[in-house]
Chain A
Amino acid sequence: MKDAVEVFEKPLKPKKRKISPSARRELTAALLFISPWIVGLGGFLMYPIAASFYYSLCEYSVLQPAQFIGIGNYVDLFTDEVFWKALGNTFFYAALSLPLGLVLSVAIALLLNTGVRGMAVYRTIFFLPSLMPVVAMAILWLWIFNGDYGVLNYAVSSSTGWISAQVAGLGRFLNQHGIESVGRALQAAAPILRIEGPPWLTDPAWSKPAFVLLSLWGVGHAVVIYLAGLQDVPAHLYEAAELDGANWLQKVRYVTLPMISPVIQFNLILGIIGSFQFFAAPYVMAPNGQPARSAYFYTMMLYDNAFPYLRMGYACAIAWVLFVIVLVCTLVALRVSSRHVHYEGM
């Protein structure tokens, strides 16, 4: 192995390699053929990335030439309370929506994988919402979350109302049959059980949880990926577990989850990136993050500075800080989760 490397390196070291005219032509042709890709990568990816980094060190209003100001934008950013507010909101959202989405999508996938009849239909039903255009979905959820007329609060108040009525009825029944202490307590507790949903999007305390709920709407996408992963779990492992007397829960814990752990990790990484880029729904549903910037997410701040405020340099700095945050979070998640990820055959 070592020799081979040395042999290979030797001819490379001397000054210039002579290329035969035909090889040169071939090289030119090859370069020409991949040139669309090179131009695309260079012009539409590498250049904008480099330019955005340069502009993050400038004051740049798009229509006037950029002026270099060093790290001024970054200094401003870290002393900007709105930045911290937006960052806090985004972390709050990610910290709730990621685990909830993960648990829910794995649970749905496990249920769909039990071999129920008509699985294709269920799979489609769970997948469909994630195909819906975001803006249409946002308008729909504006009404679902409506404090007064929203279907969500209607469901909450009518279901808890029903429970409360049942408890009150039980209390009355017990009262009539002489068990008054318990009966009274139940009757007293009954009205408390009836819950009126909050005005989700107009109460600063509930606007972020509302967006977490909304994010679960698109869980079908991950479900389909998990389903594919679940179908790859070898049947012989389940058979072996059954022979050992494992119950359903143990099979899930010791066979299914380890076997689909790479898929979970993949979805986790995608989820981290996605939740930091959460934009369209709050942009439509909570302009300016109202009420009181409680739903002002990081990318909304980026957009506001880039376009409405025309502070492109500042926006570039915001974008680069986002990049670093996502990078660090992804690395940490990879490092932490890799210990629990099991690759078959490794």
Chain B
Amino acid sequence: MYKTAGTTKLSDRPLAIPSERAVRLRSAFLAAVACLAGLLLQGCSSPPHNPSGGPVVIQYWEKWTGFEGDAMRAVVDAFNRSQSKIRVEMLTVSQIDQKMLLACAGGNPPDVAGLWSYNVNVYADKNAILPLDDYLAKAGIVKEDYIPCFWDMCEYRHKVWALPTTPASLALHWNKDMFREAGLDPERPPRTIEELDAFAEKLTKRDSSGKFIQMGFIPSEPGWWNWSWGYFFGGKLWDGHTKITANCPENIRAYRWVRSYSEKYGAQQIQLFRSGFGNFSSPQNAFLSNKVAMEIQGVWMHNFIEKYAPKLRWGAAPFPYPSDRPDLANTTIVESDVLVIPNGARHPDEAFEFIKFVNSQYGMELLNMGQRKFTPLTKVSPEFIRNHPNPYIRVFIDLARGKNVYATPEMSIWTEYRDEMNAAFDDIWLGRLTPEEALGRVQARMQKKLDRELARLRRIGKKGFED
């Protein structure tokens, strides 16, 4: 019975046993709670705020990996070297748009985040990012410093919410070797849609069993902008205020043109041909492996050509326009990566210092030379263009500076709209619905959703698009 010291001790004061036990239990429990709480608090606690007068550490989440990540890291290093008050810690985060949002909802966002331009209006409407106007005024950064379309992407409801980093515009890429082989002038890309169709026919080859060996052009390749074809025919997706215009005559014309390809060549045959394409980022990429002669692609395509098909002879030119609409020449879709300060960031002032550095001419040219894109600033050093590895960089810059420039619509229901358009594209492409039917459905569905969204924004006291 009296085996351990503990029980011996208890036996001296038999009456005290229950309370002693309770005390022990309580202290054990309190210790456990304290441990748990300590762990939790440690998990939630912020990085030490400037404890010994050292630099303020700010967290920067960015999506890039590989050489694109290295280019941004070089800018971060340059910023950290340039001063001693702020130190930027860059962290590569996949699916950054959703993770940043959840971090905001959880009250622990990074200080700077690199999003996509189409996130800006959505996140601004959700109060997930901070307006930068006061900072911009203080830093003397103005609209005129930027190529207009890239500034417009960052502006929403009369406020500026982001600054661009690495912009891109889309152009027609063509394969000069395949042009030569088909008896076309390798230095002359198609200028009108009609020429594009005629060239495409000449560039398409089948084997004896009727299977495609190569094709001139496929509207569903690479399939990243299936929602955008209307713009190249003068259409719009909405009026910028309250009306969806998915089934405007120009859009219907555009998707009739899309359908003409799957009608002419056979939707199933093309799908079968496409299923043989490798991953985009591989030498089996349809354009890089001489399977598709013309493709709409962004300024980054050059990087993949260099990496996977350095011997490919190629060119880039503005995407063709319908011959009866010469006013639509030089139409392009632009997008950009942007830097934002999430709502709830601990060091917004320091975060803006970093954003300002990236948006200096030096920072922009360092970053965009590294990523081999172009700078969104109007001021460009002559060396930047001269030393740029992409021989067609001017084409992309001129397209972005042109007047037929379109970005994704600035509406907070854009993600849904895009998915809706992509589903309609499939239905039209496969001949399951006519362009009128498919776009009519999109029109009805999205108008309803936009009406509801505008009503919601009014209810929570945000100005809609009526002004």
State the A residues within 8 Å of B (CB).
22, 25, 28-29, 32, 59, 61-64, 67, 81, 146-150, 199, 201-204, 288-293, 304, 307-310
B378 sits at the interface (CB 8 A):
no
Choose from B422, B456, B460 the contact partner of A290 (Cβ within 8 Å).
B422
Within 8 A of A (CB), among B102-119: 104-105
A and B contact pairs by CB, cutoff 8 A, 21 listed: A22-B18, A28-B22, A59-B456, A61-B126, A62-B105, A62-B126, A63-B101, A63-B127, A63-B128, A63-B343, A148-B275, A149-B276, A202-B272, A204-B430, A288-B419, A288-B422, A288-B423, A291-B426, A292-B427, A293-B423, A310-B122
Choose from B98, B101, B275 the contact partner of A199 (Cβ within 8 Å).
B275
| CB proximity of A117 to chain B, nearest CB, Å | 42
Closest to A312 in B: B105
Q: Are A63 and B105 in contact (CB under 8 A)?
A: yes
| CB proximity of A287 to chain B, nearest CB, Å | 9
B94 sits at the interface (CB 8 A):
no
Q: Mark B19-46, 1 if CB is under 8 A from A, else 0.
A: 1011001100100000000000000000
On chain B, the residues within 8 Å of A309 by CB distance are: 413, 415-416
Q: Are A310 and B460 in contact (CB under 8 A)?
A: no
Q: Are B25 and A32 in contact (CB under 8 A)?
A: yes
Choose from B272, B415, B426, B445 the contact partner of A308 (Cβ within 8 Å).
B415
State the B residues within 8 Å of A (CB).
18-19, 21-22, 25-26, 29, 98, 101, 104-105, 122, 126-128, 268, 271-276, 343, 413, 415-416, 419, 422-423, 426-427, 430, 432, 441, 445, 456, 459-460
On chain B, the residues within 8 Å of A304 by CB distance are: 419
How far is it, in angstroms, between the C-alpha of A292 and the C-alpha of B419 when the chains are bound?
Answer: 10
* Contact status of A29 and B25, CB under 8 A, knowing A62-B105, A63-B104, A199-B268: yes
On chain B, the residues within 8 Å of A81 by CB distance are: 441, 445
**Secondary structure of the A contact surface, majority rule:** loop
Q: Are A292 and B276 in contact (CB under 8 A)?
A: no
How far is it, in angstroms, between the C-alpha of A304 and the C-alpha of B268 when the chains are bound?
Answer: 28
On chain B, the residues within 8 Å of A32 by CB distance are: 25-26, 29
On chain A, the residues within 8 Å of B275 by CB distance are: 146-150, 199, 201-202
Choose from A59, A199, A310 the contact partner of B272 (Cβ within 8 Å).
A199
| CB proximity of A222 to chain B, nearest CB, Å | 32
On chain A, the residues within 8 Å of B104 by CB distance are: 63
Closest to A61 in B: B126
Q: Are B268 and A203 in contact (CB under 8 A)?
A: yes
* Contact status of A308 and B98, CB under 8 A, knowing A63-B126, A67-B459, A148-B276: yes
How far is it, in angstroms, between the C-alpha of A28 and the C-alpha of B18 when the chains are bound?
Answer: 13
How far is it, in angstroms, between the C-alpha of A69 and the C-alpha of B88 when the chains are bound?
Answer: 43
Q: Are A64 and B460 in contact (CB under 8 A)?
A: yes
Q: Are A310 and B426 in contact (CB under 8 A)?
A: no
How far is it, in angstroms, between the C-alpha of A29 and the C-alpha of B22 when the chains are bound?
Answer: 7
How far is it, in angstroms, between the C-alpha of A148 and the C-alpha of B456 when the chains are bound?
Answer: 48
* Contact status of A203 and B423, CB under 8 A, knowing A308-B98, A309-B415, A310-B126: no
* Contact status of A64 and B127, CB under 8 A, knowing A199-B271, A293-B423, A309-B415: yes
On chain A, the residues within 8 Å of B432 by CB distance are: 204, 292
| Known pairs A32-B29, A199-B268, A290-B422 / 16 extra A-B pairs, C-beta < 8 Å | A25-B22, A29-B21, A29-B25, A61-B126, A147-B271, A148-B273, A199-B275, A202-B272, A202-B274, A204-B430, A204-B432, A292-B427, A293-B426, A307-B98, A308-B419, A309-B415
How far is it, in angstroms, between the C-alpha of A310 and the C-alpha of B272 when the chains are bound?
Answer: 35
| CB proximity of B254 to chain A, nearest CB, Å | 18
Closest to B424 in A: A292
* Contact status of A291 and B430, CB under 8 A, knowing A308-B98, A309-B415: yes
How far is it, in angstroms, between the C-alpha of A247 and the C-alpha of B432 when the chains are bound?
Answer: 53
On chain B, the residues within 8 Å of A293 by CB distance are: 423, 426
| CB proximity of B411 to chain A, nearest CB, Å | 12
How far is it, in angstroms, between the C-alpha of A32 and the C-alpha of B423 when the chains are bound?
Answer: 55
| CB proximity of B438 to chain A, nearest CB, Å | 9
How far is it, in angstroms, between the C-alpha of A67 and the C-alpha of B452 when the chains are bound?
Answer: 13
Q: Are A310 and B101 in contact (CB under 8 A)?
A: yes
Q: Are B18 and A25 in contact (CB under 8 A)?
A: yes
How far is it, in angstroms, between the C-alpha of A290 and the C-alpha of B441 when the chains are bound?
Answer: 17
On chain B, the residues within 8 Å of A29 by CB distance are: 21-22, 25
Closest to B24 in A: A29
On chain B, the residues within 8 Å of A146 by CB distance are: 275-276
| CB proximity of B215 to chain A, nearest CB, Å | 14
How far is it, in angstroms, between the C-alpha of A293 and the C-alpha of B433 when the chains are bound?
Answer: 13
Closest to B127 in A: A63
On chain A, the residues within 8 Å of B460 by CB distance are: 64, 67
Q: Are B272 and A290 in contact (CB under 8 A)?
A: no
Closest to A65 in B: B460
Q: Are A147 and B272 in contact (CB under 8 A)?
A: yes
How far is it, in angstroms, between the C-alpha of A204 and the C-alpha of B433 when the chains are bound?
Answer: 13
On chain B, the residues within 8 Å of A28 by CB distance are: 22
Closest to A35 in B: B29
How far is it, in angstroms, between the C-alpha of A59 and the C-alpha of B128 when the chains are bound?
Answer: 17
How far is it, in angstroms, between the C-alpha of A59 and the C-alpha of B19 when the chains are bound?
Answer: 53
Q: Are B126 and A64 in contact (CB under 8 A)?
A: yes
On chain A, the residues within 8 Å of B273 by CB distance are: 148
Q: Are B422 and A203 in contact (CB under 8 A)?
A: no
| CB proximity of A304 to chain B, nearest CB, Å | 7
On chain A, the residues within 8 Å of B26 by CB distance are: 32
How far is it, in angstroms, between the C-alpha of A291 and the C-alpha of B427 when the chains are bound?
Answer: 8
How far is it, in angstroms, between the C-alpha of A64 and the C-alpha of B453 when the chains are bound?
Answer: 13
On chain B, the residues within 8 Å of A22 by CB distance are: 18
How far is it, in angstroms, between the C-alpha of A307 and the C-alpha of B105 when the chains are bound?
Answer: 12
Of listed A61, A62, A289, residue having the most chain B CB within 10 A: A61
On chain A, the residues within 8 Å of B276 by CB distance are: 146, 148-149
How far is it, in angstroms, between the C-alpha of A147 and the C-alpha of B270 when the chains are bound?
Answer: 11
How far is it, in angstroms, between the C-alpha of A203 and the C-alpha of B274 when the chains are bound?
Answer: 12
Closest to A289 in B: B423
Of listed A67, A148, A291, residue having the most chain B CB within 10 A: A291
How far is it, in angstroms, between the C-alpha of A67 and the C-alpha of B461 when the chains are bound?
Answer: 13
Q: Are A292 and B423 in contact (CB under 8 A)?
A: yes
How far is it, in angstroms, between the C-alpha of A25 and the C-alpha of B441 when the chains are bound?
Answer: 67
